[in-house]
Amino acid sequence: MNALRAAVVAVALAVAAAAPAAIAAPPKVGAPQAVLVEPLSGDVLFARAADRERPVASATKLMTALVVLERAELDDVYTSPGYDGAAVESTIDLKAGERLTVSDLLTALLLESANDAAVTLAEGVAGSRAEFVELMNERADRLGLRHTHFANPIGLDSPENYSSAADLATLTVRLRRDAFFRRAVDRPRAQLTSGAEPRELENSNDLLGGQAFVNGVKTGHTNLAGYVLVGSASRGGVTVISTVLGAPSKAARDADTLALLRYGLRQFRRVTVVDPNRVVARADVKYREEDRTELVPAARRARVLRVGERARVTVSAPAVLEGPIPQGARVGTVIVRVRGRVTDRVPLLTAQPVPKVSWLERAVDFMVKPGTLAGLAGLVLAGAVAGTAIRRRRRQPKAHT
């Protein structure tokens, strides 16, 4: 069969996301800095001063969460050192010496934006706030956040604590790979079971619960930062992430976020580009001209595409197969390209077994091939002529001298 791979079937299939639609007008956003991205493609759908550095308030806690998630276990238990914050700060009133699980502390960090939970996590992971801040900045550097620097794990205003709309979106893309994080930021409320007493929490992100497609992520507010919201939304297998910085009010922040998220979700569709139930090629069966074997992908693949965008699917398979080959044997590859980049390679399988061909079928196939009989007749005729010539030479009388 390998020798037959020179006969390659290259079939180009165009998979459309949807019928091309008119380009929608960009959303109206009042915030001085904002960005909207689709994480799988990396497409930036909206950007306003997205790299400008500014205070980001409690959106800082997104990096606090990432460092903790990467360095601690959710069932680890940390002891609160006690936190003496200002009256306006958000806390869950942890007492010095209280012991809580990391999962509960992260939930308080992300929903209530609790500063005492942030400090407990920082000291539990690194031993001190200063050491933890170093970890935050090291992680920001590795993540490529070029317009970000941290001075504390909380987000208190400081000239050395800043980020940008684009950097916060990049950080959120990374965080959303974590299942615990995705669940936590998508909860309107939660109950903590560790600690000295049960605690009921309300998510500071008012968009959760009111809008079914909104599933995160983190609010923030200080006098210098203004109103901040890193948002995310998912619908139909499509997710988009937004950042709004410096909004003048909570209402304006929420309105900008909803406008961005709705706009982003309208720009993309999740499309099945490879379907194991769809025959994508057929191969002839050697020695059986009337038979063909169907070839199908081994698995389903879906891709998020812009409305009107197409994926290119190429099927590489032998033109002829020789049995015996069982059903489900790999005989080729389905390759998916989006924007010229290979995104998937899926094995191509036989949908039916290719039977073994007997020696009699091979002989019959050889005999009935076009030109085979004519060739044999020619050989027979040539042999007869040669034999006649030899016999004639033998009959000629020899000359005597």
Question: Which CATH number does the domain housing residue 219 bear?
Answer: 3.40.710.10
Is residue 323 situated within a structural domain?
A: yes
Helix (H) or strand (E) holding 139: helix 129-142
Whichever domain contains 305, its CATH number is 2.60.410.10
The number of distinct structural domains making up the chain is 3
Q: How far apart are CA 264 and CA 306, in angstroms?
A: 10
User: Of 266, 294, 327, which residue constitutes the final position of a domain?
Assistant: 266
How confident is the prediction along the chain (401 residues), in pLDDT tens digits per residue?
Answer: 443 343 333 444 455 444 444 467 889 999 999 999 999 999 999 999 999 999 999 999 999 999 999 999 999 999 999 998 888 899 999 999 999 999 999 999 999 999 999 999 999 999 999 999 999 999 999 999 999 999 999 999 999 999 999 999 999 999 999 999 999 999 999 999 999 999 999 999 999 988 999 999 999 999 999 999 999 999 999 999 999 999 999 999 999 999 999 999 999 999 999 999 999 999 998 877 778 899 999 999 999 999 999 999 999 999 999 989 999 999 999 999 999 999 999 999 999 999 887 656 555 555 655 555 554 554 455 455 555 655 666 565 555 54
Give yes or no for a contact between 304 and 298, defined as CB atoms under 8 angstroms apart. Answer: no
Written as one letter, the residue type at 255 is A
User: Of 216, 240, 266, which residue constitutes the final position of a domain?
Assistant: 266
Q: Give the length of the chain.
A: 401
Backbone angles phi, psi at 110, to 5 degrees: -85, -30
Give yes or no for a contact between 83 and 118, defined as CB atoms under 8 angstroms apart. Answer: no
Is residue 24 situated within a structural domain?
A: no
Residue 223 and residue 117 share a domain: yes
Q: How far apart are CA 5 and CA 16, in angstroms?
A: 30
Q: Residue 73 is part of which domain span?
A: 33-266
Residue 188 and residue 279 share a domain: no
Other CB atoms closer than 10 Å to residue 175's CB: what's the count? Answer: 25
Is residue 23 situated within a structural domain?
A: no
Query: Which residues on neighbouring strands pair with residue 342, listed in sequence order?
Result: 337
Give yes or no for a contact between 231 and 219, defined as CB atoms under 8 angstroms apart. Answer: no
Is residue 27 situated within a structural domain?
A: no
Is residue 22 situated within a structural domain?
A: no
Burial class (CB in 10 A: 0-12, 13-18, 19+), 378: exposed
Residue 291 and residue 334 share a domain: yes
**Residue 245 CB-half CA count within 13 A:** 30
